[in-house]
Amino acid sequence: MLNIYLLRHGQTAWNADGNRYCGRTDLPLTETGLTQAHAAAAQLKNITFDAVYSSPLERAYRTAQIACGGQAVKKDERLIEADFGRWEGKPKEIFIPENEQIWQNWCEDPEQTKAGETGESAGEVIKRVNDFYLSLQAQHTGGNILVVAHNGVNRLYLAYKLGMPVKNYRKLVIDNSSVTLFQLDAAGELSLVHLNSKL
């Protein structure tokens, strides 16, 4: 059984500024974000990790470095946040009126709809993230793994693995630097142990 400790990165300026969509824009953590990452480290201090993986974006990589207490962190491109296309850098209040139909299409069928018209579909995101976890299982037959990624990719993957309609992924709440724990068995079945935990 593989124990995956999944974190969302700490706060960025865009998280703080009306939750502007931040996909591939490489923003650093705010002071609050750094504090959140240290809080996650305290929460995880008694767990020994066999490996630590992170999105290559700075906000996730820095969170991973802090949260794991100084272990080596391996960057993996498959964990990068979704490409939000024309929604990048904007809150919903701004981009929905620009093209309401694209937003409706995304809400109804994100697996086939490209985010922001020019970004990734949820199906494309799920494919690459699922590929990451399949390769993880091939390398690690058990133990504890820390993975630090992003709100969009984390929720889309979990919705898919839990058998939810993918369009309901936003019903999963994952705060900055919160810890989600799930287990993957040998057959790849996921069991959700903790969601959005800040014990």
Q: Name the residues annotated as catalytic.
A: 9, 81
Instruction: Confirm if 29 and 54 have CB atoms less than 8 A apart.
Output: no
Q: What are phi and psi of 44, to 5 degrees?
A: -100, 5
Instruction: Confirm if 39 and 59 have CB atoms less than 8 A apart.
Output: no
> In the β-sheet with 74-75, what is the strand arrangement from edge to edge?
74-75, 51-54, 143-149, 2-8, 179-184, 190-197
Q: What's the length of the chain?
A: 199
Provide the b/e sequence for 165-198 (b: ≥16 CB within 10 Å).
Answer: ebbebeebebebbbbbbbebeeeeebeeeeeeee
**Structural element, H or E, at residue 197:** strand 190-197
